[in-house]
Amino acid sequence: MIENANKAEIAKPNPKSTINSYRSFGYNLSTAIADIIDNSISATANEIRIDYIWNGQDSFITIFDNGRGMNKEELVLAMTPGSKDPEEERNQKDLGRFGMGLKTASFSQCKRLTCITKKKDYSTIKRCWDIDFINKENEWQLLDYVSDNSFLDKVNNQKSGTLVLWQKLDRIVGNADVSNESVKNAFYQEMMNVKLHLSLVFHKFIESKRIKIFFKNEEIEPYNPFLLNLNPKPEMGLPEKFGNVEITYFILPHMCEIGKIEYENSGGSLGWFQQQGFYIYRGDRLLVAGDWLGLEKKRDYSKLARIAVSFSNENDFNWHLDIKKSTANPPIEIRRELSRIGKIAIMKSAKIYNWRGQKTFSETNSTNFEPLWTDEKNREGIKKYKINRKHPIISSLLSENNKLAGKALKLLEENVPIDLILSNQNEDPAFHELEKATDKPSDELINLAIEIYKINVSQGVPELLAKQQIMSSTPFNLFPLINLYLK
């Protein structure tokens, strides 16, 4: 309390400017609807239904739950901006924090928010915020209004529940005519994005059967970013706890191990590259998906690494949780642990991702692995790819004093199709990543190994050394079976 302070004026915020400022918190349609579902879960709903109708500028979206509902006093409080103290201790299962989500999420997408609710043993009631009405009257005036009584009937037919109705969808529909196919298609695409978003954000709730989310009467299937149903299964690290924070890393199997259909289905809406990194959960609700939080960069070799980080709502302020619950910044002491565990996960991902051509034949215990290609930087710092002259096939070819062979190798090195490779990788990584490894070498490869082996032995190379040279070079090192033919 400030001592010796004289009270002056009460400065009331202007309704028109204030309510319009609530529209700029940075929500998109998916994060806005997720925020409304948070309220449904906090209200102990176990069924939530998302519905929408395209009708040009009269299009609407509804989020309808079977939670405990509200009486009049509770409804008015819920519709009042800043109705809860952010510092108030919350139930562990409460997904709210600021008492702003219903209003800010709704206003970010529409100009008319209607909330219809029924508490057990109470009558169905409704309240409405209409931004056009507030702008005209310049008053914080709630309305006892709903545009169509059929919405009332939906709620009235349940023991309890709440229906949130968004109309005047100016941010995603505007004044579009019902015949405007471009806006119609964009509207439907946005709703499909919502479905994908909800399947990820609430996957733990759906998997544990705590809630069912229906999207146009179709039950949403959970998308678990750690792909626990894959075959082979991801590698899972031991959970590490730091107070109320738990961290667990998951290393996905290499893409070629799971097949094309699973590869496409398991990449998520953004693909394998973008989905790498930390997944931050507040309770079981996902806040941040696939982000290295500035601790690492997204790289191809780290895209098999995904790390679950969970904290309780007691830690909200330590994590700088924002109103729309889509960003969270870990405390310094946790960042150190995240960095350490992140590096472990990346190393494990790189070991799996870069396995091709890196194996050595175990029986030889060779440390002189000879790849077919090597890389080096020139004076300008540009990386160039060279054919390894020490590779047994290349060495045999050049030992014949064939000048044309040397020139052919140099021509290949100077014309590596890097642009084509990168183009194919960006267009569809499956071009390269789904190439299935086989344990059985082709007859041509076996015959080539035998031929090189006989040449080396005829030139006086000891048999064991001749075998080691072949079995420690690409691609023979990938097929231990070849060693049986070298005799």
120-176 residue pLDDT tens: 999 999 999 999 999 999 998 999 999 999 999 999 999 999 999 999 999 999 999
pLDDT tens for each residue of 453-473: 888 888 888 888 888 888 888
Say how far apart CA 373 and CA 105 lie, in whole Å: 54
Whether residue 246 contacts residue 236, with contact meaning beta carbons closer than 8 Å, is answered with no
| The pLDDT value given to residue 379 | 78
> Which whole number is the average pLDDT over 18-31?
85
CA 110 to chain centre: 27
Say how far apart CA 18 and CA 110 lie, in whole Å: 15
**131 DSSP 8-state letter:** H
Candidates 193, 206, 256; CA nearest to 47 is 206
Instruction: Quickly state the pLDDT bin for 97 (edges 50, 70, 90).
Output: very low
pLDDT tens for each residue of 229-280: 888 899 999 999 998 899 999 999 887 777 777 777 777 667 778 899 999 9
Please count the other Cβ atoms lying within 10 Å of the Cβ belonging to residue 315: 17
In a 13 Å sphere around the CA of 249, the CA atoms on its Cβ side amount to 22
Say how far apart CA 88 and CA 11 lie, in whole Å: 25
**Quick check: bond before 232 cis, omega within 30?**
yes
Say how far apart CA 83 and CA 62 lie, in whole Å: 23
Least confident of 47-56, 81-90, 421-430: 81-90
Q: Which helix (H) or strand (E) holds 322?
A: none
What the block records as the tokens of 172 is 């995603």
* pTM of structure: 0.75
| The pLDDT value given to residue 365 | 46
What the block records as the tokens of 350 is 């790189």
Least confident of 156-165, 363-372, 394-403: 363-372
CATH 3.30.230 residue ranges of the chain are 235-353
> Which whole number is the average pLDDT over 332-337?
92
Q: Which of 184-188, 329-333, 372-376, 462-466 has the highest mean pLDDT?
A: 184-188
| The pLDDT value given to residue 364 | 41
**Can you tell me which residue has the tokens 């259909």?**
261
CATH 3.30.565.10 residue ranges of the chain are 15-219
Q: Helix-strand-coil percent breakdown of the chain, rounded to 5?
A: 40, 20, 45
| CB contact set of 15 (below 8 Å; sequence gap of 6+) | 134, 138, 139, 140
Average pLDDT score, the chain: 85
| The pLDDT value given to residue 12 | 78
| The pLDDT value given to residue 278 | 96
Say how far apart CA 422 and CA 189 lie, in whole Å: 29
The gap between the terminal CA atoms of the chain, to the nearest Å, is 92
Candidates 376, 377, 373, 375; CA nearest to 387 is 373
Using DSSP bridges, classify how beta strands 277-282 and 305-311 pair: parallel, antiparallel or unpaired. Answer: parallel
Say how far apart CA 198 and CA 360 lie, in whole Å: 45
Question: Given a cut of 50, is residue 354 above it in pLDDT?
Answer: yes
Question: In the CATH scheme, what architecture does the domain 235-353 have?
Answer: 2-Layer Sandwich (3.30)
The CATH classification number of 15-219 equals 3.30.565.10
| The pLDDT value given to residue 362 | 43
> Which whole number is the average pLDDT over 300-309?
92
| Phi, psi dihedrals of residue 106, rounded to the nearest 5° | -70, -50
